[in-house]
Amino acid sequence: MRYVGVDIGKWKCRAAVMDPEGPIVEEFTFPNDAEGIHDLASKLTTEYRVVMESTGSVWTTLYNNLDERRIPVALANPFKTRAIAPARIKTDKVDARILAHLLRGDLVAECYVPPRELREIRAPVRHRAGLVRMRSTVKNRVLALFDEHGPPVRVLGHVR
In this structure, the answer to whether residues 150 and 81 fall within a common structural domain is no
State whether 128 and 59 are in the same domain.
Answer: no
- Run of H or E residues at 27: strand 24-31
Amino acid (1-letter code) at residue 34: A
Do 8 and 83 share a domain, yes or no? yes
Look at 5-9, 45-49, 151-155 and tell me which has the smallest mean pLDDT.
Answer: 151-155
Predicted local confidence at residue 65, as pLDDT: 92
> How far apart, in whole angstroms, are the C-alpha atoms of residue 46 and residue 41?
10
In a domain, residue 152? The reply is: yes
Mark whether 8 and 70 lie in a shared domain.
yes
Q: What are phi and psi of 122, to 5 degrees?
A: -70, -30
39-68 pLDDT, tens digit per residue, is 999 999 889 999 999 887 889 999 999 999
- DSSP code of residue 5: E
The number of domains in the chain is: 2
- 3-state SS assignment for residue 147: helix
Q: Is residue 16 part of a domain?
A: yes
The pLDDT of residue 113 is 92
pLDDT grade for 155, boundaries at 50, 70 and 90: low
- 155: domain range? 116-159
Same-domain check for residues 48 and 74: yes
Claim to verify: residue 83 and residue 124 sit in the same structural domain: no
Put simply, whether the predicted model's pTM sits higher than 0.75 gets the answer: yes
User: What pLDDT digit, counting tens, does each position of 98-150 carry?
Assistant: 999 999 999 998 999 999 899 899 999 999 999 999 999 999 998 898 888 87
- 143 and 77 within one domain: no
Does one domain contain both 66 and 141?
no
